[in-house]
């Protein structure tokens, strides 16, 4: 949870830096902010998929026979 929050905040700040550098027409800074924003978003998605995915319960024979009845 903690790493997902920090990667998301990093992506937000990189996007703001990307917008600001685009307005100022500083293309080298704009390029670095864009790539770092993509990296932060990718890491945020990777660290966040663990929070959303459900934990699968193994069905044993005893559980399965109770369900079938």
What are 24-34's pLDDT values in tens digits? 999 999 999 99
- Kindly state the tokens that stand for 6: 């920090």
Phi-psi region of 37 (alpha: psi -120 to 50; beta: other; left: phi over 0): alpha
pTM: 0.66
Question: What is the structure's pLDDT at 16?
Answer: 93
Could you tell me how far CA 50 lies from the centroid of its own chain?
A: 10
In the block, tokens 């990189």 appear at: 14
Q: Taking Cα atoms as reference points, which of 46, 29, 36 lies closest to residue 12?
A: 36
Question: What is the structure's pLDDT at 61?
Answer: 63
What is d(CA 25, CA 16) in angstroms, rounded to the nearest whole number?
14
Mark the ranges of the chain whose per-residue pLDDT is less than 70. Answer: 53-69
């Amino acid at each position: 949870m903690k790493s997902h929050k920090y990667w998301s905040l990093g992506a937000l700040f990189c996007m703001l830096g990307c917008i600001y550098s685009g307005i100022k027409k500083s293309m080298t800074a704009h390029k670095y902010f864009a790539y770092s924003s993509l990296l932060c978003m990718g890491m945020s998605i990777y660290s966040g998929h663990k929070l959303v995915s459900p934990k699968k319960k193994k069905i044993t024979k005893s559980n399965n026979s109770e369900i079938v009845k």
